Amino acid sequence: MKIAIDEARTGITAGHGGPFGCVIVRDGKVVGRGHNEVIKQNDPTCHGEVTAIRDACKNLGTYDLSGCELYTTAEPCPMCRGAIMWSNIRKVYFGCNIADTDSIGFRDKVFYESPEDISEELDRKECLEVFEEYRAINDKKSY
Ligand SMILES: [Zn+2]
C-alpha cells in the first residue's frame, strides 16, 4: 500500500489527476503500478486501477492477471471494479472508502446509489450476426 500511496502522491504533485494510486502484485513482486491520469491523458478511464492493470498486462504480456492482488488508495469505482473482474484479479485491498472519496469532491457515490438508465437496445439482429460469425470462427478453432 505504501507504493500505491507514493503513486498517488506522484500523480497529484505532477497534476495528473486525483489522489489515486495503485499497485498490482504477484507472488510478492510488483508487476504493475500506476496513478490517476485523467487530466494528463484527457481520458476519463485513466483511473489508477486501470492504469496499473494496463501496466501489469504490458509487463507480463497477458490480459489475464489471475493470481495477482491489487492495492489501491481508494475503494474502486464501478468502472475499475469491472476492469478488475475482467482481468481476473480476485483480491483487492483499498485504503480510503467511497465516503472518503465523496468528501473530497469525487462523484463515485452517485454511481452506486442511483445509476442513470442510459442504455437502450438497438439493431440486435444485425449485432447477433457478428456474434454468430464469432461463434463460427471459434468453433473452427476448437477442431
Ligand atoms: Zn475507478
Of 66, 87, 71, 76, the closest CA to residue 4 belongs to 71
Say what the pLDDT of residue 133 is. Answer: 95
Residue 143's pLDDT band (cuts 50, 70, 90): low
- For all residues of the chain together, what is the average pLDDT? 94
Ligand 1 centre to CA of 136 (Å) is 35
Would you place residue 142 in the very low, low, confident or very high pLDDT band (cuts 50, 70, 90)?
A: low
Q: Give the rounded percent of residues in the chain with a pLDDT score beyond 90.
A: 83
Return the pLDDT at 135.
Answer: 94
- Give the distance (Å) from ligand 1 centre to CA of residue 87: 14
The cell for 24 is: 498490482
Residues flanking ion ligand 1, Cβ below 5 Å: 47, 77, 79-80
3 state DSSP class of 44: coil
Of the candidate ranges 1-10, 42-51, 100-109, the one whose mean pLDDT is the lowest: 100-109
| CA pair distance 50, 55, nearest whole angstrom | 9
Q: How far is the CA of 127 from the centre of ligand 1 (A)?
A: 29
Q: How many CB atoms lie within 10 A of CB 129?
A: 11
Q: Catalytic amino acids?
A: 49
Residues 85-123 have pLDDT tens digits of: 999 999 999 999 999 999 999 887 777 777 678 889 999
Could you tell me which CATH number the domain at 1-136 has? 3.40.140.10
Residue 94: φ, ψ to 5°? -125, 150
What is the domain partition of the chain in residue ranges? 1-136
CA distance linking residue 92 with residue 72, whole number of Å = 8
